[in-house]
Amino acid sequence: MTTAPERAIEQRDALGEPSDPYPQGQVGRPVLRYGGGDRTSGAQRFVADLRFPGSLQVALVSVPVGCAEVLGVDTTAARAIPGVVDVLTAADLPSPMPRFGVSHTDRPVLADGRVNYHGEPVAAVVAETLDAAQAAARAVQVDYRELPGVYTLDDALAPGAHLVQEPALRPGHALAETNVLEDAHYAWGDLAAEEARTEVVVEETYTFPMVTHFPIEPGGTVAVPTDAGGIDVYSPVQHPYLLQRTIASVLGMPLNQVRVFAPDPGGGFGGKQNPKLEPLLAFLALRTRRTCRLVLSLEETFQSMRRAGCRIAARTGFTADGALTFHSVEADFLIGAYADVAPRVMGKGSYVAAGPYRIPGVRIDARAVMTNTTPSTAFRGFGSPQVSWALESQLDAGARRLGLDGLEIRRRNLVGKGEAFVRGESAAAADGEWHQSLEKAAELIGWGTPLPPGRGRGIAVGIKPGATSGLSQSLVRLLADGSAIVYAGTSDMGQGARTLWQQIVADELGAPLEQVSVVSGDTGTVPFDLQTSASRSTVFMGSAVLEACKDVRQRVLALYAESTGVAEEELGERPGVLVTPDGELPLPEAARVALGSLRGEFIGQGTRRLRGKSKHPLGGDAAFYEFNATAIEVEVDRETGELLLTRHVTVSDVGTELNPLQVVSQDEGAAIMGLGHSQMEQLLLDEHGRIRNLGALDYRIPTFKDVPLELVSAAVENHDGPGPYGSKGISEGALLCTAGALGAAVADAAGVVIRELPLTPERVWAAIQAAEAAQ
């Protein structure tokens, strides 16, 4: 019987060169997920599964509109309900209201005089039971006056529009009297001169919907006051140290009084990166001096996180032979009521709005526009899917005008390795042989081969900058019996980071794979890690673990020399072994000899640091770029507008596959997630700013009935990445250009071009009907 890992090896052998840094080693093998057994069996304990005997239950109070002035909060009836311990309102918090945020310190712990989005907490009830808390929350009387909130880009940008944010929160800021929170501008070349030599100009506008992360695990937080006056916080947060810093700041505590426990999240995708309700729970716990627990419903989770919607007006020029001459972009990101990390999403996404192409003249103007909607945050792709949808559609439009196909137009414009695709002071160059991914995707989709009527193919490429600064620290302990423990602050939210640490340590220290354990998710135990985002885990923490292993080997060598009397200069070390004058010793055996009868252990420390650049628009050069080529074959039912994806190919430039099984899993997951915003996902609002399709029944995500008939994942390996053994981050690439490839395939199959996502059956059918009526 062929096992799943063996099948993965067979697949990677067929589609890409397998990695093998150390023959017979663990790195490069499809090792099964560390802790995967508990996830598949249901034994995994998420925050909501943790037991806190005697804890108080928390329920939130909100108003049924997206924008309102809070005139008063009457808690009398709520307090009278048996079991209610406290009801917290803005009046009970310090004045001025404590605020927090990633890019701007603008988010209040509770709504402070004004509700800025539907679902924003106005009060919080604390009770002995959840039933009592929820009953009391319904009994809280909120006197409010609905305000003329702005829920669309047009409303927010209109002259005299209601201001989502009080100008006082941005004193002296040039945009404080507008709903534009921040803007970004990138330009190079002479657009006028380039336009003068242009034969074909394509000018269109594209829209990308607001979508929610839809983690299977809803949001949740538990706050526990400590006897020493501090606070322990349990949260599925992706950035435990950021949460620690935030809690310490709003409470006015030193960092050592705040401890964050971060159990593995049940899905993150960027939505659980940053603090949301944790500061509120911390205040409640300190106020009541008891453990306080909050688990959101799925509907409440929808109201706490989403991806930024976007509208992009693009103007693109081509020569007669298909060379790009200029690209002009105006991108408005619909970010919501508070900043969170949205300005960074806008800036980083728009930085690559001209894509991985050779374009002499570019102008990119982007704005982060505030609206009275759920605050947007990081979401897999971090702004790149929005701009890729517009750019890739523009290329296909130009190709149709010039009589070229989608593959050829990209062949003629894609940059080569080392060639700049962003020019000027903040120049960026290709860090991979990206044309290989394009060609492999074309080959695997069968580009150019005949298709039956009603079918079409599309191909697209996408790019995303990796982390531009970072700090990851790790400790590795090699114990006297040859087993090892890794301490790393990276959150494992499904990307399988701990599995990679296992593999690295097993090879570098010669420890059996099953005898390498990993400790994470506790700021009181593990060393500092800046964050788990931007597909940085392998490159940053992986490098720190690798360095810690090298530190261990050096320590083993030094103590071995001291214990045996062999001069250090006569000894050497390499992964897994100590080299002695008498031959090689497995490192665990050498460690036992060096430790002697007293036993003990060796502790190694590793650090990976990338310093930013203050004058760079992104804060620094990207450590690497995620590059992906996606090709899709689709069948369109002209009578219903339904799409049947017959084949979906995704090819990522990975550097080196440390674990082929996990690369396949990440690419497949990202590809299907990309089909969500491309085909069906969108948050719909009513006239009061309320989300109309809250929850699993009314908000559609892809199921097994929606996935392509054939999903092919491949990789390009050139061992040219900055991570361990030449690896790069890969977890976001396969959704960057899904929409562009699907849109092109639909246009090829049905002869209609749609510029508004998602490509729902209704939208496709309406476009077909309009085209037929115009004939």
Tell if the pTM clears 0.85, that is, is over it: yes
Domains and CATH numbers, the chain: 48-147+219-295 (3.90.1170.50), 309-467+616-774 (3.30.365.10), 470-610 (3.30.365.10)
Place of tokens 């939130």: 60
pLDDT digits (tens, 9 = 90+) for 683-730: 999 999 999 999 999 999 999 999 999 999 999 999 999 999 999 999
Residue 713 has a pLDDT of 97
Annotated catalytic, 732? yes
Mean pLDDT, rounded, of the chain: 95
Q: Is the pLDDT of residue 66 over 60?
A: yes
Phi and psi of 280, rounded to 5°? -60, -45
Residue 355 — very low, low, confident or very high, per pLDDT cuts 50/70/90?
very high
Q: Is the pLDDT of residue 553 over 70?
A: yes
pLDDT digits (tens, 9 = 90+) for 561-610: 999 999 999 999 999 999 999 999 999 999 999 999 999 999 999 999 99
In contact, 683 and 479? CB cutoff 8 Å: no
Residue 516 has a pLDDT of 98
Residue 40 — very low, low, confident or very high, per pLDDT cuts 50/70/90?
confident
Residue 451 and residue 745: Cα distance in Å, rounded?
Answer: 12
What is the 3-class SS of 541-603, one letter each residue? HHHHHHHHHHHHHHHHHHHHHHHHCCCHHHCEEECCEEEECCEEEEHHHHHHHHHHHHCCEEE
Q: Is the pLDDT of residue 270 over 80?
A: yes
Q: Is the pLDDT of residue 309 over 70?
A: yes
Residue 267 — very low, low, confident or very high, per pLDDT cuts 50/70/90?
confident
pLDDT digits (tens, 9 = 90+) for 477-494: 999 999 999 999 888 877
Q: Is the pLDDT of residue 4 over 60?
A: no
Place of tokens 């969170």: 340
Please state which of the ranges 6-10, 380-384, 609-613, 637-641 shows the lowest mean pLDDT.
Answer: 6-10
Percent pLDDT > 90 in the chain is 89
Residue 495 and residue 659: Cα distance in Å, rounded?
Answer: 11
Closest among 542, 543, 499, 490 to 520, alpha carbons compared? 490
Residue 398, C-beta contacts closer than 8 angstroms, at least 6 positions apart = 200, 202, 316, 318, 322, 324, 409
Q: How many helices (H) and strands (E) does the chain have?
A: 19, 30
Q: Is the pLDDT of residue 15 over 50?
A: no
Mean pLDDT over 426-430 rounds to: 93
Residue 18 has a pLDDT of 47
Catalytic residue among 194, 633, 717, 732: 732
Place of tokens 């690419």: 667
Residue 8 — very low, low, confident or very high, per pLDDT cuts 50/70/90?
very low
